[in-house]
Structure 1
Amino acid sequence: MKYQIIPVTPFQQNCSVIWCENTLEAAVVDPGGDVERILNEVNKLGLTLNKILLTHGHIDHVGGAKKLAQQLNINIIGPHVADKFWLDALEKQSQNFGFPTTEAFEPHQFLTSGDTVTVGEQTLEVIHCPGHTPGHVVFYSKQSGLAWVGDVLFRSSIGRTDFPQSNHQDLVNSITQKLWPLGNHVSFIPGHGPMSTFAEEREHNPFVADQLLG
């Protein structure tokens, strides 16, 4: 699985264009905004974008999804249905966070653990990881040892849990019980900031390091 990270929105959210090297079919993960910038990158790479993948319902991750889907006539896939209330409140979110007005939408498909999503000849496993939001999902490429974790986990930090229906213990459980078992070798692309590995976070992350949690 190949990828290109494109920081978008005033929140500098890590939108990712991911693609299959054999077919040049692509998906975009969490297009929070700056749709033309995303499309320019897709065109520069010579890719065919055919789906949008969402990790969760916060506006800095989904703000450009509807526009992009309509422009290219492609499907929006994810997150888990438990984040529907966030997608329904997108207009209010845009007002609260100073984003351009964004209309509510419903994805073509909600996801849950055990689902898979294909990008060309590549397969992503879906893992439901509640905590930051109740419907947050992670996309994992076993073949590449790569995970797109949204706002579940960051380098040296974890997602905020001061939003409606957030839960700190659920978040810690998602990280330690669902992500760590994938293996220390896994590299992850977070929703914000630099990449890291599960090994690095298990050793040094001040919120979920093994030595802190016993």
Structure 2
Amino acid sequence: MALQYQVVPVTRFQQNCSIVWCDETMKGVVIDPGGDVKHLLMMIEQLKVDVEKLVLTHGHLDHVGGSEELSRALNQPIVGPHKEDNFWLQGLERQSQEFRFPLTEAFEPSQWLDEGDVITFGLQSLHVIHTPGHTPGHITLFNKEAKLAFVGDVLFKGGVGRTDFPKGDFNTLIDSIKTKLWALGNDTRFVPGHGPESTFGVERACNPFVED
């Protein structure tokens, strides 16, 4: 029994969407479906994953742009992020115009997520950790057994998330990384919202923004 995942870069921004599943039951979730919904549906079918919900780490357009279309196609709910990001989801039409994305209408998820919530699928689970800074309602998803975290735009290999957006805050972001992510262990691997994977230990040693 193990957690499996496939990272699928989507749209011209090449942001990471993750299809995550329980290999015993094939039940799964999709994290941050930012677009290219037809391609995501094809990947889900190829992997034979029975998707039970879509999970959002934060409200930025490039990570949520395909959510409603994929939700309708799969007839499954959207959950997350934390309710502090509602203003981002309500501003999706404006974001679409600013970033020249296909028009994405405002929506609300079926459920907001809070620190300590647990998302289950099959025999697997992802624990919700509130990690504000890039956005105020950003969450991280952690599987203890696999030592794997999906961190959205909080942390990257060699970098950290931008904080120059409305309600972003650099000190809050660094605090989220050092107090919440580092506590998950140096050997924890993470999937960022953009770019390659890394481990918290490597970033503590080499990332100029957050190295010890």
Per-residue Cα deviation, 1:85-104 (whole angstroms, up to 9, x for no partner): 00000000010001000011
Q: Matches of residues 17-166 of structure 1 in structure 2 within 5 Å?
A: 17-166=19-168
- Displacement of 1:119: 1.7
Residue 168 of structure 1 corresponds to 170
CA distance in 1, matches of 2:121, 2:178: 27
With normalisation by structure 2, the TM-score equals 0.98
Letter in 2 for 1:35: V
- Displacement of 1:31: 0.2
Residue 205 of structure 1 corresponds to 207
CA distance in 2, matches of 1:42, 1:71: 12
SS in structure 1 of the partner of residue 53 of structure 2: strand
Matched, 1:186 2:188: yes
- Displacement of 1:71: 1.6
Letter in 2 for 1:25: K
- Displacement of 1:203: 0.2
SS in structure 1 of the partner of residue 126 of structure 2: strand
CA distance in 2, matches of 1:9, 1:59: 11
- Displacement of 1:67: 0.7
CA distance in 2, matches of 1:183, 1:119: 24
CA distance in 2, matches of 1:91, 1:161: 21
Give the unaligned 5+ runs of structure 1. none
Letter in 1 for 2:92: L
- Displacement of 1:26: 1.3
Per-residue Cα deviation, 1:144-198 (whole angstroms, up to 9, x for no partner): 0000000000000000000000000000000000000110010000000000000
Q: Percent identity?
A: 56
CA distance in 2, matches of 1:146, 1:165: 28
- Displacement of 1:9: 1.3
Per-residue Cα deviation, 1:83-141 (whole angstroms, up to 9, x for no partner): 00000000000100010000110000001111100121101100000000000000000
SS in structure 2 of the partner of residue 49 of structure 1: strand
With normalisation by structure 1, the TM-score equals 0.97
Residue 177 of structure 1 corresponds to 179
- Displacement of 1:46: 1.1
Per-residue Cα deviation, 1:3-46 (whole angstroms, up to 9, x for no partner): 00000011100000000000001110000000010010010011
- Displacement of 1:47: 1.3
Moved over 6 A (4+): none
SS in structure 2 of the partner of residue 131 of structure 1: coil
